[in-house]
Amino acid sequence: MLTVQPGLSKSWRFLFVAFLAFIFALCLGSQAASAQELREILPLSQVRPGMQGYAYTIFAGDQVEKFDLEVIGVLDNFLGPRQSIILVQLKGPKVEHTGVVAGMSGSPVYLDGKLAGALSLKLGIFTKEPIAGVTPIQDVLNPPSQLVAAQTAAEQLSLPSEAATRTGLPSGSALEPIETPLVFSGFQPAALQQFATQIQSYGFVAAQGGTAAPRPDDAHLVAGEMAGMVFVQGDASINSACTVTAVQADRVYLCGHPLMNLGNVQLPMARTRVLTTLSSELASTKIVNVGGSIGTITGDHLTVVTGQLGAPPPMIPLDLTLLVSGAAPSKQKTLHFELVNHPKLTPLLVAITTFNGLTQNSLYGEGTTLHLSGEIRLQGHAPVQIENTFAPADSLTPDGLPIALTMQNVFTRLFTNTFESAKVDRITLRVESVAGRKSFTIESAWLAKGEAAPGDTLRVRVLLRPYRGPARVEETTVRVPEQVARGTTLRILVSDADLLNRASRGFAFAGAGGSPTGLDQLIALLNRERRNDRLYVGLFVPAPTLLWDDKELPNIPLSQINVVDGRPAPGTVQLLRESLASEASVPLGGPVSGIISLNLQIR
């Protein structure tokens, strides 16, 4: 007995070690899959109807779960020339209950134990069977050229709700990309409603979610887990989320279809963690928290979104300070956000973030006058100065919305310029709330005397009607130029900022021509635009003004108009009949509207 026991003990020890090794291998199986799956792929040519397979996704928590599927067939040339789709039916209690879930796009699909593609499309709504489309793996690993992607960009960016119009088919029989949840944290539905049409135009479905503290293992992605783009982060966040198809070294393949078909990009990539899956007859979706940044989204193409693990690209800081006029400095609140730098995205993101930050806090109240100031700092250029005032309206439109649309307009003009990419260093905004509605209408105006001599200083009085208050008279002065000929009739224009801008800049101000020749000139034009909370008085003389790109050449002799140095190209110049000789303004603390034109005789 004593001689046999050591042998038995050694045997049991061997079996125990082997058992531990087996359990350890199972624990590492999902991580090993990411390296193995790219060595064993199933070409589209080997896919046959009736093949049984499976896919991976997360329904709740961090657990990657497996669900079964069966191949229905292959739809050749579905996305475009030589861009086929595998049609499958999902099987199993969970997927038969939830259907195809928003956020499931990119789920890796295996047939015969080999990686065959990424779940990417769903068939209609209110369907009784969960039928989905799969992007073949060769198109995921080798996305089609930018030319093909560009040709389909217009369709991919169409409103998902207009599928019937786009395809001419009932919505229940059209294969469409699985919606990508656009996760809003720190945003209220009322704030998002104002921008719903623009959000939907990018093919997203808005979902409320949260943020999760970064973890050391955020970047340890495996197939079936979730990641996505970061659009906004900070005191509120906006992120997209879809499923990882495969990971090869530091290269990540996800979604199986485009998010916005942006092509090659440099956008932050973050880990996404699933709380639960909400089942709905209309549109099931995943409820997620966004984790830490893990790298860069490098491509957004027809058949895949690609990313690279590592450091994320820089974002644009936005500081928004809110305060109530007359309140102690301790009452003010400063919010900090960071936004992506992209010409198609940044203008909308600035608008949404500014509107939400302004309206969703205790310092904001409807029925107040809002004064906006701040600046946009650009690399290598002068800053863009922001200043305007917005009074409450009688409509149901939120009072803070014009501020958001103003910021969107400024950024659209900056990012769509044809000269160079606008590289924004920082955005600083300050919104001061003043109780009541402070706005003014110009009712009449008159001159202290009906005639003047060259060099005279002329007094102008203006009758203003404030909103629900007694009329008031404001006075200012303008100076008659010394060189004005006697017997000339001048024009005095008493107006708001917009009308004086148009009178002195013509269609160049309206955007119909006379465009600047560089980003510096565009910034100069933006900074020269007059502010809407001032009363303006402009004195015009009957001498031509030549507008050449961003330059104003007043009082130019007619004999020299055709011999301007540089010979401007046709369409880049505009000739106005008058020149603005002098102007004055009176700050009023609220928006001004109206116009009065007066004649002045020079004796």
Predicted pLDDT at 321: 95
Tokens 């589209």 belong to which residue?
Answer: 44
Predicted pLDDT at 282: 62
- pLDDT at 416 exceeding the cut of 80: yes
Which segments of 385-429 does DSSP mark as H helices, in order?
401-415
What the block records as the tokens of 377 is 């700092």
d(CA 357, CA 449): 51
Predicted pLDDT at 597: 94
- pLDDT at 445 exceeding the cut of 90: yes
Which segments of 168-269 does DSSP mark as H helices, in order?
189-193, 196-200
Buried b / exposed e across 172-191, counting CB within 10 Å, b at 16+?
eebbbbbbbbbbbbbbeeeb
User: How would you write 116-154 as a 3-class SS string?
Assistant: EEEEEEEECCCCCCCEEEEEEHHHHHCCCCHHHHHHHHH
For range 53-73, the mean pLDDT: 90
What the block records as the tokens of 199 is 């959000």
Predicted pLDDT at 502: 83
List, for residues 517-536, the tens digit of each pLDDT value.
788 888 988 898 899 999 99
- pLDDT at 541 exceeding the cut of 70: yes
For 305, half-sphere exposure in the C-beta direction (CA atoms, 13 angstrom radius) is 30
CATH top class, domain 44-153: mainly beta
Least confident range of 330-344, 413-427, 498-512, 546-560: 546-560
Least confident range of 97-111, 296-310, 566-580: 566-580
By C-alpha distance, which of 597, 594, 326 is closest to 466? Answer: 594
pTM confidence score: 0.76
Q: pLDDT grade, residue 590 (50/70/90)? A: very high
Question: How is the chain split into domains, by residue range?
Answer: 44-153, 179-309, 316-435, 440-602
Three-class SS of residue 91? Answer: strand
List, for residues 460-472, the tens digit of each pLDDT value.
999 999 998 899 9
Q: pLDDT grade, residue 290 (50/70/90)? A: confident
d(CA 599, CA 460): 12
d(CA 355, CA 334): 14
3 or 384, which is more confident? 384
Cβ neighbours for 207, distance < 8 A, ≥ 6 positions apart: 102, 181, 182, 183, 184, 285, 286, 287, 288
For range 443-472, the mean pLDDT: 92
Tokens 């600035």 belong to which residue?
Answer: 350
List, for residues 232-288, the tens digit of each pLDDT value.
999 999 988 889 999 999 999 998 888 888 889 999 999 988 877 766 666 677 778
For range 144-157, the mean pLDDT: 38
What the block records as the tokens of 222 is 């495996």
Least confident range of 139-153, 285-299, 456-470: 139-153
**Cβ proximity of 87 and 244 under 8 Å:** no
**Which of the listed ranges 7-21, 29-43, 85-99 does the model predict with the highest average pLDDT?**
85-99
538 — phi, psi (to 5°)?
-120, 140
For range 201-207, the mean pLDDT: 70
Q: pLDDT grade, residue 161 (50/70/90)? A: very low
